[in-house]
Amino acid sequence: MPVSERVAALETRRPKRADAARNFDALVAAGRAAFAEQGSAASLDDIARRAGVGIGTLYRNFPTRDDLIETLYLGEVDALADAADEVAELEPWAALRAWLDRFVAYVGTKHALLDGLNRESTVLGECRAIMLSAGEPLLVRAQAAGEVASDVTIGDVVKLVSGVAAVAYEDAAQRDRVLNLAINAIRL
């Protein structure tokens, strides 16, 4: 099943009545903005206010805080899966490396994604799986080209890189140094 379909299958949340769909979209937009600004501590009351709907409406669409986060997360996973296609024409190692860099950059701005990566949840698990299957061909190709150890899995690589990407560094130079260290660790 292609990625787009797998993502669509998870998007069953969006209601069909015109007003409800409008509110759903407003909530997602407000949620995205709030989490970007205030990190994972964003207040749901505040998100409802920004979206111009009552708190009740927020909770009807997203019964728990995690439900909302899951929906936001879905969009980000989607973007990451697209990135895997975009780098497909590069040389094997360069392609994998470029995707991982993209992953790191993405994770840096959207910190909520990282929290999600470690969280327990059916939807989030499926998201993780979607992302891993987007990256896997890149890893396999690099392994086939003899550039990466054959005993690492895409799951290992993502855990490694996401762990390193989550840390707060002194400065950009240290960040790059450590990130290089980590990514080169899988290289033969």
Nearer to a second copy, 150 or 184 (CB): 184
CB atoms within 10 A of CB 89: 8
Residue 132 as a binder of a second copy (CB under 8 A): the answer is no
Stretch 138-167: interaction string toward DNA, x if CB under 7 A: ------------------------------
Nearest CA to 97 among 142, 160, 149, 133? 142
Indicate which of DNA, a second copy, none lies near residue 177 (CB less than 5 to 8 Å, by partner kind). a second copy
What are the φ and ψ backbone dihedral angles of 148, each rounded to 5 degrees? -130, 140
Tell me how far apart the 2 most distant CA atoms of the chain are, in Å: 56
Contact letters for a second copy, residues 82-121 (x by CB under 8 A)? -----------------------------------xx---
Q: Which of the 8 DSSP states describes residue 151?
A: T
Q: Should residue 188 be labelled a site residue for a second copy when binding is judged by CB under 8 A?
A: no
| Closer of 4 and 109 to a second copy (Cβ) | 109
Chosen from DNA, a second copy, none, partner binding at 160 (C-beta under 5 to 8 Å by type): a second copy
36 binds, among a second copy, DNA, none (CB under 5 to 8 A by kind): none
Site residues for DNA, 24-63, by CB under 7 A, read 42-46, 52-57, 59-61, 63
Q: What does the alpha-carbon distance between residue 162 and residue 182 come to, in Å, rounded to a whole number? A: 10
Binding residue for DNA (CB under 7 A) from 7, 20, 33, 160? 20
What is the distance between the alpha carbons of residues 51 and 171, in angstroms, rounded to a whole number?
36
Report which of 160, 157, 162, 154 is spatially closest to residue 136, judged by C-alpha positions.
154
Cα separation, 183 vs 165, in Å, equals 11
Mention every residue, 6+ apart, whose C-beta is less than 8 A from residue 97. 183
**Residue 22 or 175 with smaller CB distance to DNA:** 22
Contact call for residue 17 and DNA (CB under 7 A): yes
What is residue 87's DSSP assignment?
A: T
Q: How far is the CB of 78 from DNA (least distance, A)?
A: 24
Q: Which residues bind DNA (CB under 7 A)?
A: 15-20, 22-23, 42-46, 52-57, 59-61, 63-65
